[in-house]
Structure 1
Amino acid sequence: MKNYIKPDEWNIIEEGFDPHLNKISESIFSIGNGRMGQRANFEEAYSGETLQGNYVAGIYYPDKTRVGWWKNGYPEYFAKVLNATNWVGIDIRIGDETLDLNNCKVTAFKRVLNMKEGYLTRSFIAENKNGKAVKVIAKRFCSIIDDEVGALHYQLVPLNFENIVLSVTSFIDGDVKNEDSNYDEKFWNEVSKEQDKNTDYLLLKTKKTDFDVCTSARSTILINNESVSLSPVMSEKYLGQTVKVNVKQGDVIDVYKIVSNLTSENHEKQVLIERSKQVIDQASAKGFEQLLKEHSDAWAVKWQESDIVIAGDVAAQQAIRFNIFQLNQTYTGKDARLNIGPKGFTGEKYGGSTYWDTEAYCIPFYLSTAPQEVAKNLLVYRYKHLQKAIENASKLGFKDGAALYPMVTMNGEECHNEWEITFEEIHRNGAIAFAIFNYVRYTGDESYLSEYGLEVLIGIARFWKQRVNWSTEKNKYVMLGVTGPNEYENNVNNNWYTNTLAAWCLKYTVEVAEIVKEKYPEQYQNVILNANLNAELEFADWTKIVTNMYYPYDENTGVFLQQDGFMDKEQILVKDLAAEERPLNQKWSWDRILRSGFIKQADVLQGMYFFEDDYELETLRKNFDFYESRTVHESSLSPCVHSILAAKLNDEQRAYEFYLRTARLDLDDYNNDTEDGLHITSMAGTWMSIVEGFAGMRVRNNQLKFSPFLPKQWDSFSFTIGFRGVQLKIKITIRQIIITNNSGQTLEVLIFNELYSIPKGEKVISYNGTVV
């Protein structure tokens, strides 16, 4: 675990430069705006360890699958978000020596991510091998108002030399590649480039997928506040504006750079450069400071909607704001074609594609902190991929409209090629169905079911019907050869979570069909026709499976078995595992991991989190104690579920411990993998740990319920949520629960088990459950 980020409520601060931490910091200090993003790479050259990363949403490459043994059904490619044109580059040469912090003595280094206003700053003093020292202050952001625009200001001051030629080149460079390229292939071809009025236009096209991206940059360089003439430079996939000037100690060189990234996903290809010129003109007319002010003002609104305030614990406060900040700059919900990659705009790992993480972890955050359309667009994304999901299932031998949503995707087509995941981690289907249920439960928007949801559910239900088989020995339906959420088990039979989720999906689909039939009869008939549904026959088949599904259970311990044969494993607890053996995925062979009883993340407990109302507290407690003691939490998605369940069990100590682990997972580099990029989807789980865990927020019978407790490390905590058109402010102190209705209509809420009405503009105060 690293511990170099300075505590601060609103800022992420790194003081001092350690090259060994640089790739971690590049991830932590990333910026983005939902349309594009940028790792915290240096503007100037850097020859040390770095992961160059500039990303444009929706642009990907189908990198050819690289496996040692091909299996029928494998996707031919793994879709990867592309490292796109580097737009932050500024080359500094002092005489004949390039400014490169890897070759300099670096002092007074400081990097700050201002989360309140949404920008990154960096300052340092560096002395090169010839003893020439400079001071640099840099600031940059990706605008959330003009989401195709980014901007930076780079200021350099010579400290101890004069009559030396200083060369400054502000450039854009498309000659980049992905670090995770399977065959070291570069994924971009140059189409054209132009230079005009200190502005560079570089048009690139992706191989195979033919996405066009035009990156434009207008550069202005001032010497002691006087604008200077720039000379254009050009080479393959590279454009820049340069100036050479004799400088003396104390001169101030300011570089302003306003950039746009436009894609053929949003503009016609034939006008892409012309449209880029318009965007860069409009942004430049505003100028750096106005762009920054508009951007910061927009962040103020976002924080009003989504901030969580923690009093008395700076580390926890900093962590939750960092998580919320990254979620808000990763996905804005403006475009239903986009989704949330596990690394967002912070790295390449996992291909940057969509996983089931979105439905299981991210939906609750956006439901509560953003307009309803934002979460709805995440579901519409899956609806638009329904036919691809049917095709995915057909490749594996399923038929008659059965749909298997992909484990990994950019366009709805499966592109994950590890067999134990691609073919067997099929619980992802259930997470999508649960997200539909969760959305409707929270918003009350049953019209979504008639427009989109029922068709998706039918495809998923048909898949489950074909995936189970009847066991004569057990006299039950069973599901063989699956991988549950615990990926430290592959190819198991009757994973309890998967069986439970499948049966629930079948039951829920029948229930939704009845709702749509009753309330939206015309749309119901359209769905029947589109899906070619034989309702009477198929519903009867699904109901029979629900009634006769097999669930592994151990009589001796009273727990649901993760899968058949789980108790055959050697039952060693995590507390008895030597510290030097962890993390297992970096220390053990895969064979050893598979034979062990250690669990990567919540599996049985994931199901009990989804369907907590179906189980008594004592049942939950038995399963929690049994499985948590065997869980190594080597998935970023694990601590948050355990935190929420521990809170429900009134286990405040473990609830807080798991919260702090998930909240500071990346800031403290718990799993030694932050350098690959941040864990964006687990950040949503961090938010859930507070709102669903400590505040105990649930939706019950179309009403909000709160059953909160205050961690002893905190003086209070508060947050704002939106629910069915009403905005509530909730504050929990050691003695009080205060809920304020900031909207124009009355809302009824449950505090513990008592129902109270909160008129518009008023508040209710509860003292240990007694409301006044």
Structure 2
Amino acid sequence: MPKLIYDTKNFIIEQRGFNSLLTKKSESIFSQGNGYLGLRATDEEKNVYNKEDFFVNGIFNRGDRTEVSELANLADLLKTSIFIDDEIFMLNRRMKYRKSLDLKNGILKREVEAKIKNKKFLFVFKRIVSQTNKQIYAQTIEIKQLTGEKTCIKIFPMIDGQTTNSGIQHLDEGKKTLLSESLLQYQEQTNQSNHWVIHNLKLRAYANNKILKSGNDDYVLKMARRQVGYLIKSEVSVNKPFKLEKIMSVSTSVDNDEILNYDNVKENADKLAKTIEEIKFKDIEKQNKIDYDKIYKQFDVKIEGNKEAKYDLLALKFSIYHMNNFVPTHSSNMSVGAKGLSGEGYQGHCYWDTEFFIVPNYLFTNPKIARNLLEYRYKGIEGAREKAAEGNYIGAQYPWEMAWPTDGEVTPYWGQPDIVTGKQIPIASRKQEIHVPGDIAFAVDQYFQVTNDQDFMNKMGYEMIIDTAIFWTSRVEKMANNKYQITDVMGPNEYKGNIDNNNFINLVAKRNLELAIDYINKLSSNSEGLKILDDINKKLPYKWNLNLMIDVKDNLIQQLPNENNIIAENDQFLSLPRMDISDFQLLGDAGKKLFNTKEGHKRLGAQLVKQADVILSTFIFNELFSREVVRANFDFYEPVTTHDSSLSPTTYSIKAIDLRKMDIAYKLFKYSLNIDMGTNFHSADAGIHAGSLAAIWQSVVFGYGGFRFLNKNVYISPILPNQWTKLTYSITVKNTKLKVSVNKNDFTIEKVSGNDLKVYVNEQEYLISNKHNFKVITKW
């Protein structure tokens, strides 16, 4: 049985032992990338249990007319067949197997000790993705013979274009070219979106530390359908190893903000070919050590304490490592898929997770990246208008799932068959999960309040907020009492569909309307603003009514606290029976037990919550709720929440910290860390969980660090768990950088740069001008 080992001193995560049924976990969590490209960490030996994936962010394609656009799996340059005395090398459980990811430099290393025909061998595989030149990655394979007479080996490195997305072929074959000695180029083109992808592969083979030359019977060029590579023959013996080094690059049509034509991609690929002829694996390794140091310093968080605290810090580093893998920093044409670039889960599509669980991390550390992610949404505004028109509405209804920004809605229409009727069930979220427009409007406004980026608002932000508000005026239904309601929806709690007046949806809709009205009034007060409004109106293919917007804002139903301070999740929720659901909590995938058992079906018809819904409202709109209301709703909803969504435990943990419920806060915090990193070998089969990994930073900074930006103000009220002795972090707000250092009983806030800043510390207003000392509030 494989085991995961966590080296908290050296920041290395290691898998020991091999089982072909349990490979997908480490394939996902050991994946590598740089925001531009992503490599799934499959083993080099090609086999049915591996799912190789190589993605370039933004290369989407629709495989056939029955499919939606998805992130296309590109040609594989890593899989390499090895023959030992004419016997193909394949893994088995008896072999000594160690696979590790070094978070300090991004190196994936695998060591396999094997006995083959009474001889012992050590195979050492390494991979690295460059953080400086994001189009380059590299691999080494070393074969060392430990015992026995000399051995004949054959190794077949190649570019393999036979890859698919679970059977869907997205790319047509193009040209195969030998550019120079041991330097190959392979071209492929997506068969619907028509994107060009050009791969280069430079080989260096060494026998007994001497480089081998190609163009002879022992180093032969091979070609087949969608494949090009070399068959290399050599010998190894004790103290005479064989080593193969591969330096690889990829160039595509989406490498710039403007789509490149074939000639541009070919020109870029040829330049990269010259580059990879000059560099070696060790050059990338040396530079990556410097680059990763910068990556971690960008987030600048340190945790000190006992053994658990050291693990928590490792988990935080792990989350930052993966954020760097999946967040695009080079273009605003792409966003973050729910599985990042680590697997085919959710087809590479972007969800609302980005606005609440990823954008804030960069908003307070590197706002340029936050702007890129919001610009991506603006580039999809036409698709949002088309989405609204699907339901005979107007306005910008941002899709539930997005791919390339102009693709519009890409949520599949159909899901799994009903086990009773045998008929396919429509995917309800495509129609019912309608809160995304409000989520985006909230994120746009928060970005502006934190950065004061007027250029962004003038070009994009005002239009996004106004157009999403127009959608709500179209989507609501007017009642006989002149109130407005929103029916037949699904909120964040995806266990409850076809419900009315979901508390979170109605709250986010009202906030969206409030923002639009405030900005319209502001723009209407001067000539420059009126011109911006006029330009927006020229872009809109429909008329809109400000008075209607005001009326809906004032009269939209809100779920208010009842006599027990409980906020109804929706109109129907509180009338449902209440049952004990403890056996279904914190399982990682409670859905299987819920949907496949009689006891589960009973609870699906009861007060059951998949993920934070009302509690998410109290997190996002914290300023609207008293502590008494937050406490009452936490106590009411947490016992009936399965936390089956990876986004749920973070939100509940942060709110528990706010309430100083420290035991349950740490329990949920640890659960959130282990969704991907923990020892459950099926928790990340289809890829890592991008939103929950990014949310680890928020758990630390927003939770234990006590930092919050609410209603245009900064709040700081930190507290440490028992396992930690110190926490330090830095954040930037309104061009002012603050450093917060938290001990058990006291903390300091220091202005590092920028202007003096008003901050509410433990709910009291202070002007932070240099370094200030405060006491930790342990109870409210």
TM-score, normalising length from structure 2?
Answer: 0.90
Q: Secondary structure at the match of 2:164?
A: coil
Q: 1:99 to 1:741 in 2, by over 3 A?
A: farther
CA distance in 2, matches of 1:461, 1:671: 44
Shift of 1:307: 3.9
| Conserved? CA contact 1:449–1:516, under 8 Å | no
Shift of 1:452: 0.8
**Residue identity opposite 2:109 in structure 1:** T
2:297 paired residue number:
304
**Residue identity opposite 1:95 in structure 2:** D
| Conserved? CA contact 1:751–1:769, under 8 Å | no
2:373 paired residue number:
378
Shift of 1:88: 1.3
* 1:259 aligns to 2:248 (yes or no): yes
Alpha-carbon RMSD across the aligned residues, in angstroms, is 2.5
Q: 1:47 to 1:356 in 2, by over 3 A?
A: same
Q: How do residues 674-689 of structure 1 correspond to structure 2 at under 5 angstroms?
A: 674-689=684-699
**Residue identity opposite 1:90 in structure 2:** T
Q: Secondary structure at the match of 1:355?
A: coil
Match of 1:93 among 74, 83, 103: 83
| Conserved? CA contact 2:623–2:711, under 8 Å | no
Q: Secondary structure at the match of 2:654?
A: helix
1:281 paired residue number:
274
Q: 1:207 to 1:95 in 2, by over 3 A?
A: same
**Residue identity opposite 1:4 in structure 2:** L
Q: Secondary structure at the match of 2:245?
A: strand
1:52 paired residue number:
52
Count the aligned residue pairs.
744
**Residue identity opposite 1:584 in structure 2:** G
2:38 paired residue number:
37
| Conserved? CA contact 2:586–2:644, under 8 Å | no
CA deviations 1:246-292 (Å, max 9, x no partner) are 32222121211110111122343124334312112113313222222
Moved more, 268-277 or 643-652: 268-277
Shift of 1:528: 3.6
Q: 1:154 to 1:65 in 2, by over 3 A?
A: same
* 1:458 aligns to 2:466 (yes or no): yes
CA distance in 2, matches of 1:756, 1:458: 34
2:204 paired residue number:
220
1:198 paired residue number:
182
| Conserved? CA contact 2:206–2:244, under 8 Å | yes
Shift of 1:669: 5.6
CA distance in 1, matches of 2:158, 2:289: 26
| Conserved? CA contact 2:174–2:189, under 8 Å | yes
Q: Secondary structure at the match of 1:498?
A: helix
| 5+ long unaligned stretches in structure 2 | 215-219, 414-425
* 1:503 aligns to 2:510 (yes or no): yes
* 1:208 aligns to 2:192 (yes or no): yes
Q: How do residues 494-533 of structure 1 correspond to structure 2 at under 5 angstroms?
A: 494-518=501-525, 520-521=528-529, 522-531=531-540
CA deviations 1:384-421 (Å, max 9, x no partner) are 1111111121122123xx11111111134101124411
Shift of 1:187: 1.8
Q: 1:646 to 1:446 in 2, by over 3 A?
A: farther
CA deviations 1:117-172 (Å, max 9, x no partner) are 222122221223x2332112222111121011111122211122334311122222
| Conserved? CA contact 2:46–2:80, under 8 Å | no
Shift of 1:626: 0.8
**Residue identity opposite 2:580 in structure 1:** L
1:69 paired residue number:
none
Shift of 1:738: 2.8
Match of 1:443 among 433, 451, 466: 451
CA distance in 2, matches of 1:495, 1:151: 50
2:143 paired residue number:
156
Match of 2:161 among 174, 180, 195: 174
Moved more, 28-37 or 445-454: 445-454
Q: How do residues 210-249 of structure 1 correspond to structure 2 at under 5 angstroms?
A: 210-230=194-214, 231-249=220-238
Shift of 1:94: 0.5
1:74 paired residue number:
none
Match of 1:81 among 71, 81, 90: 71
Q: Secondary structure at the match of 1:438?
A: helix
1:566 paired residue number:
573
Q: Secondary structure at the match of 2:246?
A: strand
**Residue identity opposite 1:91 in structure 2:** S
CA distance in 1, matches of 2:676, 2:360: 21
| Conserved? CA contact 2:60–2:404, under 8 Å | no
| 5+ long unaligned stretches in structure 1 | 67-76
Match of 2:739 among 729, 732, 755: 729
**Residue identity opposite 1:354 in structure 2:** C
**Residue identity opposite 1:287 in structure 2:** K
Q: 1:581 to 1:672 in 2, by over 3 A?
A: closer
| Conserved? CA contact 1:449–1:512, under 8 Å | no
Q: 1:414 to 1:365 in 2, by over 3 A?
A: same
1:145 paired residue number:
132
Q: 1:753 to 1:490 in 2, by over 3 A?
A: closer
* 1:415 aligns to 2:425 (yes or no): no
CA distance in 2, matches of 1:503, 1:246: 72
**Residue identity opposite 1:431 in structure 2:** D
CA distance in 2, matches of 1:577, 1:319: 25
CA distance in 2, matches of 1:171, 1:250: 27
1:188 paired residue number:
171
Q: 1:671 to 1:751 in 2, by over 3 A?
A: farther
| Conserved? CA contact 2:35–2:57, under 8 Å | yes
**Residue identity opposite 1:186 in structure 2:** Q
2:108 paired residue number:
120
Moved more, 361-370 or 119-128: 119-128
| Conserved? CA contact 2:222–2:230, under 8 Å | yes
* 1:350 aligns to 2:346 (yes or no): yes
* 1:491 aligns to 2:498 (yes or no): yes
Match of 1:599 among 574, 596, 609: 609
User: Percentage identity across aligned positions?
Assistant: 27
| Conserved? CA contact 1:341–1:353, under 8 Å | yes
CA distance in 2, matches of 1:393, 1:701: 29
Q: 1:493 to 1:702 in 2, by over 3 A?
A: closer
Shift of 1:769: 7.4
| Conserved? CA contact 1:36–1:148, under 8 Å | yes
| Conserved? CA contact 1:219–1:256, under 8 Å | yes
Q: Secondary structure at the match of 2:23?
A: helix
Shift of 1:476: 1.9
Shift of 1:221: 0.7
Q: 1:699 to 1:579 in 2, by over 3 A?
A: closer
1:315 paired residue number:
311
CA distance in 1, matches of 2:601, 2:449: 42
| Conserved? CA contact 2:235–2:242, under 8 Å | no
1:551 paired residue number:
558
CA distance in 2, matches of 1:701, 1:579: 33
Shift of 1:92: 1.2
Q: 1:394 to 1:336 in 2, by over 3 A?
A: same
| Conserved? CA contact 2:745–2:776, under 8 Å | yes
Q: 1:582 to 1:742 in 2, by over 3 A?
A: closer
Q: Secondary structure at the match of 1:676?
A: coil
Moved more, 425-434 or 435-444: 435-444
CA deviations 1:712-753 (Å, max 9, x no partner) are 111112223233334333221113313344336555544324
**Residue identity opposite 2:438 in structure 1:** G
Match of 1:540 among 533, 547, 552: 547
2:715 paired residue number:
705
